[in-house]
A and B are shown apart, each in its own frame.
Chain A
Amino acid sequence: MDAPVTVITGARKGIGRHLAERYARLGHRVIGCSRREPDWSVPGYEHYSADVSSEAEVKRLFAEIRKKHGAVHHLINNAGIASMNHALLTPASTVERVLATNVTGTFLASREAAKLMKRGRYGRIVNFTTVAVPLSLEGEAAYVASKAGVEGLTRVLARELGSFGITVNAVGPVPIRTDLIAGVPQEKIDALIGRQAIKRYGELDDVANVVDFFLRPESALVTGQCIYLGGV
């Protein structure tokens, strides 16, 4: 495949930025999006402002991509937000916000990307879950519920899109030193890492390694799977 088109949501910072820079370096045409503009750029990368929870904005993003590139080969649904609080102290507005970005955002981007992938009879969709789902991590009810939703989407979309040559999988990172966990107390992070088989923080390249595997053309029969890091 010559210069595949790789769309990454939430590409402004953290894991999204790392993946955007990595795949641009590897010769992909990388299209990133986030609500705000990034303060960086690399050759082969273009950025769009879009909120993944907005149907209109996601449709507009993929319409632009279709006009400019005519295809999408890879979608990495990295955009996500977390909420760390006891359930008894979590307002409905927080739950709705987390579900909107993590579940609705993953759904909308996958739907629009799959329409373009279907034409080429090829596609790789990679979603983001978390080890907090299998660990049923207390203090993260809304976040875990949203990521359990992403896992359900991953399995159902794998079935619905399989006949179009599109695979759908998810990677579940352990804590990585990004903004997502910046507000989590250290003892909570330590307790979580203590439940892993390999007790350390994840690195950005640990995630990239799993994403690489899902994106490979040879991974055509790998679909509907969630791979957790850390031996959870």
Chain B
Amino acid sequence: MSVKDELVSLIIDAVKELSDQDDVELPADLGHATALFGENGFLDSMSLVSLVVSVEQGVEDRYGQAVSLADEKALSRRNSPYRTIGSLAEYAAEQLGQG
């Protein structure tokens, strides 16, 4: 499994955990193309904050490397890394030096 695929799976786990904790309603299928935030996304801004924190912790646990997925670069990108599970995975991979 590639790092990006691992990250997609890690994000899906984090989304499921978020759904348990914060009562977020999930789409039927969760995968690379699932919209997270913005157009057709199912997260509101607070849920996005929770997800980003949870993914950062998950990445650190798995790869032993602290990453910041909410720095100014991410927030000002024309194509937000928070659009889909896949785009967030790609951004996390970049931060890990695996992009």
Contacts and interface: CB of A to CB of B under 8 A. Distances in A.
A118 B53 contact: yes
Interface residues of B, number: 7
A136 interface: no
Nearest to B46: A163
A115 B60 CA distance: 13
B62 to A, nearest CB: 13
B66 A115 contact: no
Given A59-B66, A63-B66, A115 B53 contact: yes
Contacts, number: 11
B57 interface: yes
Nearest to A66: B57
Chain B at the A interface: SS class: helix
B46 A115 contact: no
Contacts of A60: 66
B50 interface: yes
A60 B56 CA distance: 13
* Interface residues on chain A, size class: under 10
Interface in A26-74: 59-60, 63, 66
A63 B60 contact: yes
A118 B50 CA distance: 9
A14 to B, nearest CB: 31
B63 to A, nearest CB: 12
B70 to A, nearest CB: 11
Contacts of B56: 115
A59 B50 CA distance: 17
A66 B57 CA distance: 10
Given A59-B66, A118-B53, 9 more contacts: A60-B66, A63-B60, A63-B66, A66-B57, A115-B53, A115-B56, A115-B57, A118-B50, A163-B46
Interface of A: 59-60, 63, 66, 115, 118, 163
